[in-house]
Chain A
Amino acid sequence: MFSGFTEKTALVRVEVRVGDKENIIEVAEGTPVEKLIEQLEPKWRKNVLVIVNGQTAKATDRIHTSDRILIVPLLSGG
Chain B
Amino acid sequence: MSNQKKDLRILRINTSQETTSEEPVPTDLLLLGGRAFTSHWVSSHVDPGSEPLSKRNQLVIAPGLLAGIPASSVHRLSVGAKSPLTNGIKESNSGGNVAYKLARLGIKAIILEDSPKKNELIILRIGPGGVSFEPAAEILEKGTEETAAAIHARYGPNIAFMVIGPAGEYRLSTAAILNSDRDGFPARICGRGGMGAIMASKGIKAIIIDDSETKAVSLSDETRFRKSSRRYHQYLKETPQTSETYTKYGTAAMVDVTNELGGLPTRNFSCGHFEGAEKINGRTIYQRILERGGDPSHACMPGCLIRSSNIYVDQRGHPIVRSLEYETLVMFGPNCGIDDLDELAQINRLCNDIGVDSIDTGGAIGIAMEAGLISFGDIAGVKRLLEEIQQNTLLGRVLGQGGAITGKILGARRIPAVKGQIMAAYEPRAIKGHGVTFATSPMGADHTAGFTIREGLNSHKKEGQVEASARMQVNGMIYDSLGLCLFAHAAIRDHHDLLAELVNCRWGSELTSRDLRVMAIEALEEEKEFNQKARLGPSSDRLPEIFYEEANPSSGTVFDIPPCELDEIKYV
Contacts and interface: CB of A to CB of B under 8 A. Distances in A.
B253 A75 contact: yes
Given A47-B239, A76-B451, A54 B245 contact: no
A70 B260 CA distance: 8
B486 A77 contact: yes
B453 A49 contact: yes
A72 B257 contact: yes
B354 interface: no
Contacts of B326: 78
Interface size class of A (residues with CB under 8 A): 20 to 34
- Interchain residue pairs A-B with the least CB separation, the first 7: A78-B254, A78-B326, A76-B489, A77-B486, A76-B490, A73-B245, A78-B251
Contact of A74 (B241, B425, B447): B241
Contacts of A54: 260-262, 430, 460, 554-555
Contact of B254 (A22, A43, A47, A75): A75
A15 to B, nearest CB: 9
Interface of A: 17-20, 22, 43-44, 47, 49, 51, 54-56, 58, 70, 72-78
Interface in B369-414: none
B238 A74 contact: no
Contacts of A51: 257, 260-261
Question: Interface SS of chain A: helix, strand, loop or mixed?
Answer: loop
Contacts of A44: 240
A76 B487 CA distance: 5
A72 B277 CA distance: 15
B260 A75 contact: no
A49 B490 CA distance: 12
Contact of A56 (B238, B240, B283, B456): B456
Interface string B33-50: 000000000000000000
25 contacts: A18-B240, A49-B453, A51-B260, A54-B261, A54-B430, A54-B460, A55-B261, A55-B459, A56-B456, A56-B458, A56-B460, A70-B260, A73-B241, A73-B245, A73-B253, A74-B490, A75-B245, A75-B253, A75-B257, A76-B487, A78-B252, A78-B254, A78-B258, A78-B326, A78-B327
Contacts of A78: 251-254, 257-258, 325-327, 425, 447
A77 B245 contact: no
Nearest to A68: B260
Interface size class of B (residues with CB under 8 A): 35 or more
A78 B460 CA distance: 19
Contacts of B238: 43
A77 B447 contact: yes
A47 B238 CA distance: 11
Interface string B257-269: 1101110000000
A40 to B, nearest CB: 10
A17 B256 contact: yes
A56 B261 contact: yes
B118 interface: no
A54 to B, nearest CB: 5
A38 B293 CA distance: 37
A58 B283 CA distance: 26
B448 interface: yes
Given A18-B240, A44-B240, A77 B251 contact: yes
A7 to B, nearest CB: 33
Contacts of A19: 240, 244
Interface in B540-572: 554-555
Contacts of B453: 49, 74-75
B257 A43 contact: no
Nearest to A61: B458
